[in-house]
Amino acid sequence: MERLLSVLTEKRVLFSVSFVVRLALVLYGDYQDRNMVVKYTDIDYHVFTDAARFITEGQSPYNRSTYRYTPLLAWLLTPNIYLSVVFGKLLFIVCDVLSGLLIYKLLCLRGVSCQIARYVSSLWLLNPLPMGVSSRGNAESILSALVLGTLLCMEVRRLAWAAVLYGLSVHMKIYPVTYALPIALSLRSPHTKTTTEHWSWRTAFGFIGSFLNSKLILFASVAGGVFFTLTALFYYMYGWVFLHETYLYHLTRRDIRHNFSPYFYMLYLTADSRWSQALGLAAFLPQLILLVVSSWTFHRDLAFTCFLHTAIFVSFNKVCTSQYFLWYLSLLPLVIPHLTLSVKQGVMLLLLWFAGQALWLAPAYFLEFEGHNTFFLIWLAGLFFLVINSFILVQIIAHYKSRKSLERQKAE
Amino acid sequence: MYFLRFYLFLCSAPCVYLLKEDGDEDLCFFLEGVKPSLSVELSNKGFHREVVTTVELGSETPGDVRALLVYTWPRGVYVDPYQLAFLSDLRGWQMLFNTTIDLEEPAHRTSAFLTYVYPSHNGPTPGPLTVTIPIHGRYHKPAFDGKSFTPVHIELPELLLWTKKCTPIQRLEPHTLLDAPCNASNTSICSWIKIQLSHKNSTLSLHLPVGDGPTVTLVCTGTLLVTVICCAVLCHSILKHQIT
């Protein structure tokens, strides 16, 4: 068994096998779509393809109802129309394997031995969840590759490239914008402790001044430049509907249909009441507070902060679907080698996470497909899932040893 | 001069009438013999259902008769045009919508809509036509009267017939004339004959679950309490284990 594991995780074998398995799934998916009633391909893939078709006809991709992404994605998938409809899936599985490669490189740079780095990367590369998601035609792997690429460039101090990839990732989906705070905190000048402990104007100015250094200004201007250039270009091409569907819809989204979010039932019951706005704001505050606190305390370890940020953002969001889990699962392999949890504890936490989802999926199935009124149970399951996610995050935080503290321990 | 014109008119009118009389017997005679029946069933449970419509036109119906089913859907349900486009090759019928469909809006923010369904006719004599339309329930406003479900009533579709040879102007009772698109590509309008049918039930009903309005205070309090506690616990853990 161990011999099989070491052969499988040998570098060339690992990446080849993970690509071939994904390719096989794409081909199988094509067969299932043609021959069976239940389709393999995700509905989102049809949305992307329809939007790409509109572009090839010279129209706006937003003519396709429920296309709520950047036009860049539809442009990237125009070969779906000109070459083959399977092109997009091939692009997604390549980005998926690339994400695995970036995880491996990042782990090596963060002081993990190459053998352990390969084992941990195989948690992503041989994991059926990202395999299934990318072969079904979801575009999440493009974003995970961009975010991992940003972290890798930050790690090797190639700030301009990191900024380009970061600007591109924020353009594609809004949630990486939360990484701006820890990135800014990690790039600011080291804070020199003043003699006095009391707050004064000098310490305040010193704090603000620490943000004004060449590295941070370079990062901000390149990332901002990439983001605003793309926004301006697509606004010029497609107008207000681009801004609304790509950004504003997601910021103001009030999908009252059942989803994993703990706020789902509260927002459904109050959708048309005068408390709706206030409750929406109340729902936003825990997210905001946690993002600021975690940035401030952990910004020196950027990969860990980004993982925490994303996990907190998804768990406390007003809408949460299973696609969002991939956003932080792609960063989890960077955290795992630094956890002092035993394998048994790790597996228990994983099973707990799955149990939380199963407890939600059961009443949701009965609501949607059997027509029972299980709203109250779904609400309770959503709250329970938040409790489980919080517990898991607390365990990860409590058992995390960053590279610096490990080195300090060794020195002692 | 006038007399000549009038005389010619008097002579031609009976000829036209005679021609039409002969034509009518061939053209719209079938309407008197045709006894179509239409039955509609609702299958599946929950928010995703299927409306199965079976139309039997009768054996005396001419082979080139085309049927059109006009559905008036209530705002509590919707039909997904993208799902239909994907499955249209398998289904053998085409649907035309009279409006764009928002797939996510709750029921009270949308309105009823019409669809025209054009079954494709196979062979010279049309047999029973079966059309299965997948429909999806919309979310409704929470109920404050203690009821867990809200009813959605779907009217039975109207059956319209058309044949190239028949251009009726009279003798249609109890049927009526109706203008509707000739086909699903909506390029022209034709004059269809709306068939008067007798139904045992005039509507189908489905019941969709709705939220429980009176529990709003409990739900809001419980949600905010749990989220604030989880936030506080996480903050405490983060600050306790910060990287110094």
E strand or H helix at B55: strand B48-56
pLDDT digits (tens, 9 = 90+) for A324-378: 999 999 999 999 999 999 999 999 999 999 999 999 999 999 999 999 999 999 9
Minimum mean pLDDT among A191-205, A269-283, B220-234: which range? A191-205
Instruction: Point out the residue among B213, B223, B243 whose CB comes nearest to the CB of A405.
Output: B243
Please state, as a whole number, how many other Cβ atoms lie within 10 Å of the Cβ of residue B36. Answer: 17
Whether the predicted pLDDT of B168 surpasses 50: yes
Instruction: Point out the residue among A289, A316, A369 whose CB comes nearest to the CB of B235.
Output: A289
Q: Are strands B158-162 and B176-181 parallel, antiparallel or unpaired?
A: unpaired
Would you call the peptide bond into B14 cis, given omega within 30 degrees of 0 as the criterion? no
What is the C-alpha separation between B94 and A158, in angstroms, rounded? 56
Amino acid making up residue A394: V
Contacts of A393 in chain B (CB under 8 A): 234, 237
Q: Say if B135 falls within a structural domain.
A: yes
pLDDT number for residue B16? 45
Q: Are strands B189-194 and B158-162 parallel, antiparallel or unpaired?
A: antiparallel
pLDDT number for residue A226? 96
CB contact (8 A) between residue B207 and residue A371: yes
pLDDT tier, B3 (very low <50, low <70, confident <90, very high otherwise)? low
Positive or negative: CA dihedral A321, A326, A329, A334: negative
What is the C-alpha separation between A15 and A9, in angstroms, rounded? 9
Q: Say if B120 falls within a structural domain.
A: yes
Interface of A with B in 353-392 (CB under 8 A): 367-376, 379, 383, 386-387, 390
Interface of B with A in 188-217 (CB under 8 A): 207-213, 215-216
Is B222 in the same domain as B205?
Answer: no
The count of structural domains within chain B is 2
Whether the predicted pLDDT of A8 surpasses 70: no
| C-beta separation of A23 from A93 below 8 A | yes
Minimum mean pLDDT among A16-25, B24-33, B225-234: which range? B24-33
Is B126 in the same domain as B221?
Answer: no
Whether the predicted pLDDT of A108 surpasses 50: yes
Give the list of residues 6+ apart from residue B120 with CB closer than 8 angstroms, or none: B92, B93, B94
What is the C-alpha separation between A379 and B138, in angstroms, rounded? 19
Is B218 in the same domain as B203?
Answer: no
Please state, as a whole number, how many other Cβ atoms lie within 10 Å of the Cβ of residue B23. Answer: 14
Contacts of B82 in chain A (CB under 8 A): 43, 46-47, 50, 65
Q: What DSSP line would sit under A235-251, residue for residue? A: HHHHTHHHHIIIIIHHH
| C-beta separation of B110 from B144 below 8 A | no
CB contact (8 A) between residue A269 and residue B207: no
Whether the predicted pLDDT of B26 surpasses 50: no
Q: What are phi and psi of B126, to 5 degrees?
A: -70, 130
Chain A residue whose CA is closest to B237: A394
A195: tokens are 């003699």
Chain A residue whose CA is closest to B231: A286
Instruction: Point out the residue among A263, A290, A398 whose CB comes nearest to the CB of B223.
Output: A263
Q: Say if B10 falls within a structural domain.
A: no
Is B93 in the same domain as B175?
Answer: yes
Amino acid making up residue A389: N
Length of chain B: 244
What is the C-alpha separation between A225 and A170, in angstroms, rounded? 12
Enumerate the β-bridge partners of residue B208.
B150
Asked if B88 is an interface residue toward chain A (Cβ–Cβ < 8 A), one would say no
Largest CA distance in chain B: 115
Is B117 in the same domain as B174?
Answer: yes
What is the C-alpha separation between A386 and A280, in angstroms, rounded? 17
Whether the predicted pLDDT of A25 surpasses 90: yes
Is B130 in the same domain as B53?
Answer: yes
Chain A residue whose CA is closest to B228: A286
Q: To which residue do tokens 């339309």 refer?
A: B133
N-to-C CA span, chain A: 37
Mean pLDDT calculated for residue range A106-122: 90
Whether the predicted pLDDT of B211 surpasses 70: yes
Q: Say if B98 falls within a structural domain.
A: yes
Mean pLDDT for all residues in chain A? 89
pLDDT tier, B167 (very low <50, low <70, confident <90, very high otherwise)? low
Best of B105, B206, B234 to mutate (most A CBs within 10 Å, chain A): B234
Asked if B97 is an interface residue toward chain A (Cβ–Cβ < 8 A), one would say no
Helix, coil or strand: residue B178 = strand
Contacts of B239 in chain A (CB under 8 A): 293, 297
Give the list of residues 6+ apart from residue A109 with CB closer than 8 angstroms, or none: A152, A155, A156
Positive or negative: CA dihedral B176, B180, B183, B187: positive
Amino acid making up residue B27: L
A124: tokens are 């992503």
- Which of A162, A146, A164 has its CA nearest to residue A154? A162
Contacts of B110 in chain A (CB under 8 A): none
Q: Say if B147 falls within a structural domain.
A: yes
Whether the predicted pLDDT of B59 surpasses 90: no
Positive or negative: CA dihedral A249, A252, A256, A261: positive
Contacts of B47 in chain A (CB under 8 A): 367-369, 371
Is B183 in the same domain as B228?
Answer: no
Distance in Å, alpha carbon of B198 to nearest chain A alpha carbon? 31
Q: What DSSP line would sit under A6-24, residue for residue? A: HHHTSHHHHHHHHHHHHHH
- Which of A169, A156, A146 has its CA nearest to residue A108? A156
pLDDT tier, B22 (very low <50, low <70, confident <90, very high otherwise)? very low
Whether the predicted pLDDT of B244 surpasses 70: no
Please state, as a whole number, how many other Cβ atoms lie within 10 Å of the Cβ of residue A42. Answer: 19
A130: tokens are 């990202």
Q: What are phi and psi of A173, to 5 degrees?
A: -145, 150
E strand or H helix at B81: helix B81-91
Is B112 in the same domain as B132?
Answer: yes
Is B124 in the same domain as B237?
Answer: no
Q: What is the dihedral of CA B103, B106, B112, B115, to 10 degrees?
A: 20
A404: tokens are 């610096």
Is B205 in the same domain as B222?
Answer: no
CB contact (8 A) between residue A298 and residue B243: yes
Contacts of B222 in chain A (CB under 8 A): 379, 383
Whether the predicted pLDDT of A113 surpasses 80: yes
Please state, as a whole number, how many other Cβ atoms lie within 10 Å of the Cβ of residue A44. Answer: 18
0.90 exceeded by pTM? no
Is B35 in the same domain as B52?
Answer: yes
Please state, as a whole number, how many other Cβ atoms lie within 10 Å of the Cβ of residue B65. Answer: 21
Q: Say if B85 falls within a structural domain.
A: yes
What is the C-alpha separation between A79 and A67, in angstroms, rounded? 18
What is the C-alpha separation between A109 and A119, in angstroms, rounded? 15
CB contact (8 A) between residue B237 and residue A373: no
Instruction: Point out the residue among B213, B235, B243 whose CB comes nearest to the CB of A269.
Output: B213
Largest CA distance in chain A: 75
B58: tokens are 């009768």
**How many Cβ pairs within 8 Å bridge chains A and B?**
138
pLDDT number for residue B90? 64
Mean pLDDT calculated for residue range A141-163: 95
CA atoms within 13 A on the CB side of A208: 5
- Which of A332, A338, A314 has its CA nearest to residue B241? A338
Segments forming the whole domain that contains residue B235? 214-243
Positive or negative: CA dihedral A265, A268, A269, A274: positive
Mean pLDDT for all residues in chain B? 80
Minimum mean pLDDT among A203-207, A220-224, B187-191, B230-234: which range? A203-207
Minimum mean pLDDT among A171-185, A216-230, A385-399, B90-104: which range? B90-104
Best of B225, B238, B244 to mutate (most A CBs within 10 Å, chain A): B238
Q: Say if B5 falls within a structural domain.
A: no
Helix, coil or strand: residue B96 = strand
Is B218 in the same domain as B158?
Answer: no
Q: Say if B84 falls within a structural domain.
A: yes
CB contact (8 A) between residue B226 and residue A300: no
E strand or H helix at B203: strand B203-209
What is the C-alpha separation between A222 and A162, in angstroms, rounded? 9
Interface of A with B in 245-264 (CB under 8 A): 255-257, 262-263
Minimum mean pLDDT among A3-17, A393-407, B92-106: which range? A3-17
What is the C-alpha separation between A181 and A187, in angstroms, rounded? 10
| C-beta separation of A353 from B32 below 8 A | no
More confident residue, B209 or B124: B209
B138: tokens are 């919309």
pLDDT number for residue A281? 87
CB contact (8 A) between residue A386 and residue B230: yes
CB contact (8 A) between residue B47 and residue A266: no
Length of chain A: 412
Contacts of B101 in chain A (CB under 8 A): 65
CB contact (8 A) between residue B139 and residue A269: no
